[in-house]
């Protein structure tokens, strides 16, 4: 079984995915990193996902993201080992690429966190590429509300981290959910 994390930017996907990866000794992959690798293969230029978006815009970014995830899905069929995968916050809104992943033995964990908490994390790390309004909190809440149906559509389990006050509590809750799923698979 492959474990996929979805949710808004800064909800804890990468942190939880890395910890699950370590706890269960399953390799961790991040779609932003994989996109950078694919971009380098195509253009012989090193760029982060953020730089790719800034240079080429949303449409190009989403096409590259879809190609990246679909290539990975094909590799999952032939892979003997499992992976833990962290997806970009908007990936579930990009066509049905998460649906494609689910066809390849992927268990999807949605890390749900209230938008105000995530927004405070986003602004600590500088402006986000998808917030460009006069009222960034309202813009962020709007984006969060637009993505919520997609997260719910693909989630096999929802871990609401809104009330989990520490990163350790969040990780503990996620590890328990994954452990339960792994035990069910046996």
State how far the Cα of 8 lies from the Cα of 147, in Å rounded to an integer. 8
Q: Higher-confidence residue: 21 or 123? A: 21
pLDDT per residue as tens digits for the range 20-41: 999 989 999 999 999 999 999 9
Element (H, E) at 88: none
Q: Higher-confidence residue: 15 or 124? A: 15
Tell how far CA 144 is from the center of its chain.
14
Binned at pLDDT 50, 70 and 90, residue 185 comes out as confident
Q: What pLDDT, on the 0 to 100 scale, is given for residue 96?
A: 94
Q: What pLDDT, on the 0 to 100 scale, is given for residue 40?
A: 98
With pLDDT > 70 as the criterion, what percentage of the chain qualifies?
A: 91
Rg of the chain taking only CA atoms, in angstroms = 16
Which domains are present in the chain? 2-30+82-185 (3.40.50.300)
User: Model's pTM, two decimal places?
Assistant: 0.90
3-class secondary-structure state, position 132: coil
State how far the Cα of 29 lies from the Cα of 87, in Å rounded to an integer. 9
């Amino acid at each position: 079984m492959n474990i996929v994390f979805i949710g808004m930017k800064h909800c804890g996907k990468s942190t939880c995915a890395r910890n699950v990866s370590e706890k269960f000794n399953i390799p961790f992959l991040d779609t932003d990193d994989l996109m950078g690798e694919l971009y380098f293969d195509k253009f012989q230029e090193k760029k982060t996902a953020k730089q790719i978006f800034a240079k080429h815009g949303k449409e190009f970014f989403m096409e590259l993201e879809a190609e990246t995830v679909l290539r990975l899905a094909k590799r999952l069929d032939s892979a003997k080992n499992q992976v833990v995968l962290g997806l970009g916050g908007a990936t579930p809104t990009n066509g049905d690429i998460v649906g494609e992943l689910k066809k390849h033995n992927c268990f999807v964990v949605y890390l749900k966190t209230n938008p105000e908490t995530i927004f405070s994390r986003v602004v600590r790390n500088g402006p986000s590429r998808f917030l460009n309004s006069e009222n960034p909190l309202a813009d962020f809440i709007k984006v969060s509300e637009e993505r919520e149906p997609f997260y719910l559509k693909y989630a096999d389990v929802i871990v609401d981290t809104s009330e989990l006050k520490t990163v350790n509590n969040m990780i503990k809750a996620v590890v328990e959910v994954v452990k339960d799923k792994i035990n069910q698979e046996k």
